[in-house]
Amino acid sequence: MSTPIKYTVAMTLRLDQPMADDVEDIADSFNLSKASFVRRSIRRAIQYARLHELPLIDRRVRRVLTP
């Protein structure tokens, strides 16, 4: 049996009922806990933002700062 990971930070998410139901359904489909599914989803969203969204913001900032 694997050793459980102790996480140092806890967050409260206020989800509307349809979204909470979706999280539960999808997590169950992947055989994950809801918390594990949310952690994976957040990791993917952060990776996507770093690769695709932050470069766009950086370009806009550089354009404004360049004389």
Calculate mean pLDDT across residues 40-59: 89
**Interatomic CA distance for residues 56 and 43, integer angstroms:** 20
Tokens, residue 5: 């990971």
> pLDDT, tens digit, for every residue of 13-35?
999 999 999 999 999 999 999 99
pTM score of the predicted model: 0.74
Q: Which residue ranges make up each domain of the chain?
A: 17-65
CA-closest candidate to residue 26, choices 34, 18, 14: 34
Mean pLDDT of the chain: 88
pLDDT greater at residue 54 or residue 33: 33
